Structure 1
Amino acid sequence: MLVASSIALVTSSYLAWASLTSTSVAGCGGDLFDCSNVLHSRWSSVMSVPVSIPAILSHLTILSMLFWEPRTERSNTIRWSVIGLVAFSIAAAGLWFMGLQFFWLQHLCPYCLAAHTAGLVVLGAYLMSGQTTRGLAKPWLATAAVAGMAGFIGLQMTNEEPITYEVIDYSQDDVSDEGMIDFEAPAGGAELFEAPTVSIVTPEPSPNLEIQLPTAQQWSALALSFAHPMSMLATEITVGSETADESDSVAENQGEEAEKAPVSNTVRLLKNVKLETASWPLIGKPDAELVFVELFDYTCPHCQRTHRSLEAARKHFGDRLAVISLPVPLDRDCNPTVRSTSSSHAEACELAKLAVAVWMTDREQFEPFHSYLFESKPSYNQAYAKARTMVDADKLESTMRSSGPSEYIAKHVTLYQRAGSGTIPKILFPETTVAGAVESSQSFINLIERNLR
């Protein structure tokens, strides 16, 4: 108990110092082991005090009780009652904070885990010490500890969501229409960003070998022509009339198809870049009033939390809001800005290409598949199997074999580089870029209202 409490005291003291001085935690940086994310979350403090401070006080209490040598039985009862109460409390706190890291934040702080584990060891040592009968009964101590922890959590719930993103403002730069750049999607024709032509191989339909036999009317006309040759002229006039009618019908169908062609809207971002909503993966309607661009990775925890707040914002704005959703994998296989690929992003390229392929195959299914990838967090094999149930499987396979998805991802990465690369997700508005997780739905709503007036 003495050793475990001492270890927890040292690690908690270091974390308190790092929090109070805003110092980076040594040896703690990466996608999974990210102490900065843990120590700057809303759960890292209570009433503006770092939670490591109450931890320090708790372990100091246990150590002082262990070194205290009471002379009366009553004092000894008090001693072990205090040790038991604090031991149950720090164990309950340890379970709470480890659960937050594993299941909510999805980032781990090794120092925090060491302190919480030491707290659990303290409780185990207390329960096996043989001194539990000298204090209050264990059920009473456990109940008091749980009640105290519930109050502690309640105080934490009142904490405001910390600002976890940076807003980069371009509004001071003058931009004219002459300086605007059309950031075109991969397609045929001239490409400002030298995107190759996208060619999607679609399965060729089987030739129609059905033999059309003459109709009864045609047999009658043929027989009549032998008896009365002048009847051929009437037949030609009739056929010509039918051909004209068919031409008119084709023209009408073409007109209807033109009317059904997808409408589009132009979005401006990064001072002088324009995108057409109909040319890129889109969540919402292409002619929506409010449109911005999101750069993200399906395997990024920050992006997953931002997706939750964005969904709430979309419900708030309804059909007025649309999002050009461009996956930017944090995987060196398709993103040269990444120096080394973390194991958590090992399938990021494949998932991003699959999402684009679903959009290229059936745009109506992109939104539900996009949500599925964020909410279910599937492996690539699971995601591919799901995609085959949502769109035409043969067309999807043909699209995946084509260069189209890879070329779209390359264009996304190019736009990501123009936005400064670095942190994702990135929200690109006309005059500003928001870099980092937006975890509060109200904060997202406020950003949209402020930047898409």
Structure 2
Amino acid sequence: MNTRGKLVVRILAGIGALLSLYLLTMKLNGQISSISGCGSGGGCANVLGSRWSQFFGIPVSAFSSALYLTILGLTFRFNATLARSASILLFGAAAWFMGLQFFYLKTFCPWCLATHLTGILTATALLLHHGDEKKKSSIHQWTVGLGGIAILVAGQLFGPVPDTHLITEEKQPSEPKETSQAETGERMVSFPNSETAVPLKDLPHIGPIDAPHVLIKYFDYTCNSCRDMHGDLGKLQASYPEEITVVYLPVPLNRSCNPHLSSRVKDHEGACELARLSLAVWKTNPELWEQVHNGLFSRPVLSPAIARGHIEQRVDKVQLEEALKDPWIAERLTSNMKTYQTMVIATDRMPKLVMEGGSVMHGISRTTEDFVKTIREKLKL
């Protein structure tokens, strides 16, 4: 390889190594996790938190760091076979990961894209600057390069998938300030890190009021992961119809009504309005609330105007308007958001599902079957 070629490859491979090491650091220090859900810091959190960011439990950025450092070494002791094999592997890996972002994840991480583009440029430089050592590519070189790509793709498609949810233990109130169930005869619900309790009948819920187990879901109607868990909970309750009741407490991911969001969380348009509409229906006509609640989780996300139009076909327009003015809605949202805020230390990811004993599931499971199994074991169903 000539001197000019070595310089170009060293610069590009150095940039690629630095980018890869930066992404690896974010994975290793917990800044980016595999927890799947809304409320993340944007595209990089979604991409680097996906199953595709790992290969048999090891961050792919660790492999790319090693590959770029190997290429740097080749500029000091050149080997044509390794150089061409590395070029093929870089091209293939860049195409694979960029394709996943564009066509599957449909979200983008600028740092990841920069790494992949650097890989393409590095591979091109390796192929163009062999100088006097240029030779025709051998079958062996193609076998090594394409074999590496095949192993990568197969490992990610069929290898172990990391957990996409996290379960933590939260502090439970020891002596609720609210009147106890024994004193009122009502089923009371308490919240993590809070000394208050509220009658179950006053909270939006699905399931029998005397069910042995009560779960509390903190969610946002504009959150795709919350919508996915809605289906998981439906499957769970269909399997145990008399044993589980789920309380649904909206926490809008929008700063116009939720001042507790961290700077990492992107505002979700229409979240506040949809939450208020849901609570207004509960206040006006609890019997219709479950139907409206399911409708608000339709795909794609409904705009507030369209959602209200659908609701007004079922609920009296005047009653709905009066309910939206009820101070209870603002009080309920404020309480939901304050309680939710105590649970984001582990992760910002939503939804959050509170179980008995203070256990909280953050994010969603890989599959509905995994979800049902996890809850069944936690509740000893």
- The normalised TM-score by structure 1 is 0.61
> How far is 1:336 from its partner?
4.2
Matched-pair contact (CA < 8 Å) for 2:165–2:361: no
CA offsets 1:193-243 (integer angstroms, 9 cap, x no match): xxxxxxxxxxxxxxxxxxxxxxxxxxxxxxxxxxxxxxxxxxxxxxxxxxx
> How far is 1:429 from its partner?
3.8
Which residue of 1 is the match for residue 338 of structure 2?
A: 417
> How far is 1:161 from its partner?
0.8
SS at match of 1:164: strand
**Whole-Å Cα distance in 2 between the matches of residues 430 and 180 of structure 1?**
18
> How far is 1:56 from its partner?
1.7
**Whole-Å Cα distance in 1 between the matches of residues 51 and 89 of structure 2?**
24
> How far is 1:12 from its partner?
0.9
**Whole-Å Cα distance in 2 between the matches of residues 67 and 278 of structure 1?**
73
1:10 counterpart (4, 18, 30): 18
Aligned pairs for 1:301-312 (under 5 A) are 303-304=226-227, 306-312=229-235
SS at match of 2:169: strand
1:446 counterpart (363, 374, 377): 374
Moved more, 94-103 or 353-362: 94-103
Which residue of 1 is the match for residue 68 of structure 2?
A: 59
CA offsets 1:4-50 (integer angstroms, 9 cap, x no match): 43322111123334444x2648xxxx844375665555444323322
Aligned pairs for 1:280-299 (under 5 A) are 280-299=203-222
**Whole-Å Cα distance in 2 between the matches of residues 87 and 301 of structure 1?**
33
Look up the equivalent residue of 2:14 and give its one-letter code.
S
Matched-pair contact (CA < 8 Å) for 2:281–2:315: no
**Whole-Å Cα distance in 1 between the matches of residues 363 and 95 of structure 2?**
29
- Does the alignment pair 1:91 with 2:94? yes
Mark the CA change 1:322 to 1:59 in structure 2 (over 3 Å): closer, same or farther.
Answer: same
Larger Rg: 1 or 2? Answer: 1
Matched-pair contact (CA < 8 Å) for 2:86–2:123: no
CA offsets 1:344-373 (integer angstroms, 9 cap, x no match): 323211121122344456545544543454
SS at match of 1:134: coil
Look up the equivalent residue of 2:153 and give its one-letter code.
A
SS at match of 1:427: strand
Matched-pair contact (CA < 8 Å) for 2:86–2:145: no
1:431 counterpart (346, 349, 357): 357
> How far is 1:396 from its partner?
4.2
- Does the alignment pair 1:135 with 2:61? no
Structure 2: unaligned runs, 5 residues or longer = 1-7, 33-38, 345-349
Matched-pair contact (CA < 8 Å) for 1:292–1:427: yes
Which residue of 2 is the match for residue 111 of structure 1?
A: 111
> How far is 1:153 from its partner?
0.9
Matched-pair contact (CA < 8 Å) for 1:168–1:432: yes
**Whole-Å Cα distance in 2 between the matches of residues 139 and 82 of structure 1?**
6
SS at match of 1:325: strand
Q: CA RMSD in A?
A: 4.3
Look up the equivalent residue of 1:327 and give its one-letter code.
P
Which residue of 2 is the match for residue 151 of structure 1?
A: 154
Percent sequence identity is: 23
2:168 counterpart (155, 166, 169): 166
Aligned pairs for 1:21-420 (under 5 A) are 22=29, 24=31, 31-33=40-42, 39=48, 42-65=51-74, 69=78, 76=80, 78=81, 81-95=84-98, 98=101, 102-103=105-106, 109-122=109-122, 134-136=136-138, 144=147, 146-154=149-157, 157-161=159-163, 163-170=165-172, 174-175=174-175, 179-181=177-179, 266-270=187-191, 273-300=196-223, 303-304=226-227, 306-338=229-261, 344-360=267-283, 363=286, 366-374=289-297, 376-381=299-304, 384-386=305-307, 388-389=309-310, 392=313, 395-396=316-317, 398-400=319-321, 402-404=323-325, 407-418=328-339
Matched-pair contact (CA < 8 Å) for 1:327–1:412: yes
Matched-pair contact (CA < 8 Å) for 2:166–2:362: yes
> How far is 1:55 from its partner?
0.9
> How far is 1:326 from its partner?
1.5
**Whole-Å Cα distance in 1 between the matches of residues 138 and 294 of structure 2?**
52
SS at match of 2:152: helix
Look up the equivalent residue of 1:413 and give its one-letter code.
T
SS at match of 2:316: helix
Matched-pair contact (CA < 8 Å) for 1:166–1:434: yes
Structure 1: unaligned runs, 5 residues or longer = 71-75, 184-263
Look up the equivalent residue of 1:166 and give its one-letter code.
T
Number of residue pairs the alignment of both structures matches: 352
